[in-house]
Chains A and B, each alone.
Chain A
Amino acid sequence: MRIELVKRKEQSRAMLLLSPLIAVGLTLITAALLFIVTGKDPALGLYKFFIEPLTDTWSLQEIVVKATPLILIACGLSVCFLSNNWNIGAEGQFVFGAICGCFLPILFPEFANGATLPLMLLFGALGGAAWAFIPAILKTRFNTNEILTSLMLVYVAGLLLDYLVRGPWRDPGGFNFPESRIFSDAATLPAIGDGRMSLSAPIALIVVVVLAIVLARTMKGFEIRVMGESPRAGSFAGFSAKKLTLFAFAFAGAMAGLAGTMEVSGSLNQLLPSISPGYGFTAIIVAFLGRLNPVGILVAGFILALSYIGGEAVQASMGVSDKIASVIQGLLLFYVLACDTLILYQVRLSRARPAAIAGEAEHV
């Protein structure tokens, strides 16, 4: 018995909606198996992981806090992926953006007025864009593989942050702990509600709405999609692949840098040696689960944010490693990719191949 793919005449509308749901369902089943293998009650595990965080306001707020950077980064990445630019270094752009956004409150703490926060966000976005520009320029100028260069820069940005926080940017009054000084109120993103959420959440929402309109209704959005699906057709239309690569990377970097700055300013309130639990990588899953569509990304961001909170919950209450969150995230991406195949293809199980073809193939 073998699995055969038969191309559909056109995209299956039903599968377009169903495939992410099937993927989530399969992930739940696998997660249950994972709990059984580790000797835990699967029903309790699934409840603690996926349901309980949705039942109290503290963890609901926490989900919003975690979803915000994921959604912002994934929005940027969707523009890259749609236009066939494989930026997988968003984690580095997040970190470098945060470094650029946070030098003001760290080096010039006395500069604290109404302009501080807007400037920080601006520098953060510019910093992230600059970091993303490196692989983009190397790709357009030297034809260098952007996957590897953008990823290598993740390690470099992480080491740079580590150096700054342990060295020149260490808090002079901080008893030698590797952390920067705590930001003043003027450099802190205003909180929403009782303090966990900050202004970053509505900013991310605005980005989602604007990007959705740009992608669906403007020439730029058309250019991004055409160049991704058929660069040749796009070049006949007068679009430049190189310019679009630079644009897509700069936009993705800016979003990641903005997210990094807002994470530090709104949640952490100081720079630490590590400021991200892998948001830049998880955002790749968010982008694919959301089908590279801003509204889809909004929903997917909350699902992946839930996986972070759920991982912490099962670790605290059931003694399961919180690495289970990362396992579930990886599985989810597998299932999403596999289920997306169902949109373009029908899967058929066939008994055997025609004898003639089978016979010829045996010569290998």
Chain B
Amino acid sequence: MFEAVLLTVITAATPLLIAAIGELVVERSGVLNLGVEGMMIMGAVVGFAVANQTGSGSLGVVAAIGAGMAMSALFAFLVLVMVTNQVASGLALTILGLGLSGMIGEAFIGVPGLKLPELHIPFLSDLPFIGPVVFQQDALVYVAFALVAGVSYMLFRTRMGLVLRSVGDNHASAHALGYSVIKVRFLAILFGGACAGLAGAYMSLAYTPQWVENMTAGRGWIALALVVFASWLPWRVVAGAYLFGAVTVLTFHAQAQGFGIPSQFLSSLPYLATIVVLVLISANRRLTLVNTPACLGKPFVPDR
């Protein structure tokens, strides 16, 4: 029983983790991309469509990453080149993504999906309890952790990370030192788009292998909240994502048990939990002020 619950928590947490770690990099570069939900749903539909047409889950995943990057490139052009309002542009991206995915997905409603295979790591996956939980997941679960480790290393142990953080904290100084603020931010936004697309593919190829309209159901927004929850530190995103995965799974189990609580109240728990967590974190000024990128959401026009 406990093992089964833990397995579902992992699948519920993985899309949140992947999308949030991508957005964390974007925000560390000083850009707020509110379009995560739109990029994620595009990843979900394109991943499903390509996997369905080609019969290959890996091709689906690659296509989903491409779709997320294409959407984010659109956003990057607007906020970096045309210096538009980042909040409004992110919203536009989400509205566009929800509509476009609905159009593309119409042909795939009710079509049986393709589930990404689980990797069986030799010998280790035979271990009792630990085997199925740790060594018998689909590849993207491991990719998610690799992403967190990679991002954490990149941000705090490499020159590239230092440049990225300086661009996010003080773009004027970074520009004066000769770093291309626009280029750094463009790459960060593309990375965020790739992660959101991958998270979408996880939704439609592993979590629930089918296409349902609006199937991300606000997970893109929860991923945005997770970045705040993590106070922009990569490993804390893991804690947040698994916490939310646990809340989601608990509501499923509570619904199955009944308890006489209306299912709608249980379904609203993850959203209410997001609000509570955001309040708790943001009430702690010391925690947020230290790590919040100082230039987050501020437009940058290079003076020439």
Contact = CB atoms under 8 A, between A and B. Distances in A.
B275 interface: yes
B83 A5 contact: yes
A5 B301 contact: yes
A155 interface: yes
B178 A363 contact: yes
Interface stretch (B51-59, B188-196, B218-226): B218-226
B278 interface: yes
B279 interface: yes
B279 A138 contact: yes
Nearest to A361: B180
Interface stretch (B93-101, B144-152, B202-210): B93-101
Contacts of A5: 81-83, 301
B103 interface: yes
A163 B285 contact: no
B95 A326 contact: yes
Best-surrounded residue of A144, A151, A153, A288 (most CB of chain B within 10 A): A151
Contact of A142 (B83, B178, B274, B282): B282
Given A86-B87, A147-B87, A159-B265, A152 B272 contact: yes
A321 B99 CA distance: 10
Contact of B268 (A142, A159, A337, A338): A159
Interface in A141-177: 142-145, 147-149, 151-153, 155-156, 159-160, 162-163, 166-167
Interface residues of B, number: 54
A333 B91 contact: yes
Interface in B116-151: none
Contact of A330 (B95, B180, B274, B275): B95
Contacts of B99: 323-330
Contacts of B278: 138, 144-145, 148-149
Contacts of B285: 143
Contacts of A31: none
State which size class the interface on A falls in.
35 or more
B157 interface: no
A334 B89 contact: yes
The majority secondary structure among interface residues of chain B is: helix
B254 interface: no
B257 interface: no
B279 A155 contact: no
B304 A4 contact: yes
A3 B81 contact: yes
A283 B244 CA distance: 30
Best-surrounded residue of A143, A166, A364 (most CB of chain B within 10 A): A364
A340 interface: yes
Contact of A321 (B34, B103, B218, B265): B103
B100 A327 contact: yes
Contacts of A331: 96
A142 B106 contact: no
Contact of A333 (B82, B88, B264, B271): B88
B78 interface: yes
Contacts of A103: none
A327 B82 contact: no
Interface in B255-300: 262, 264-265, 267-268, 271-272, 274-275, 278-279, 282-283, 285, 288
A88 B95 CA distance: 12
B43 to A, nearest CB: 16
B92 interface: yes
A162 B264 contact: yes
A205 B274 CA distance: 37
Nearest to B183: A364
Interface string B166-180: 000000000000111
Nearest to B79: A337
13 contacts: A3-B81, A5-B301, A143-B285, A149-B278, A152-B274, A330-B92, A333-B91, A333-B95, A333-B96, A353-B304, A357-B178, A361-B179, A361-B180
7 residue pairs, one from A and one from B, having the closest CB atoms: A326-B99, A330-B96, A323-B102, A163-B264, A333-B92, A360-B178, A327-B99
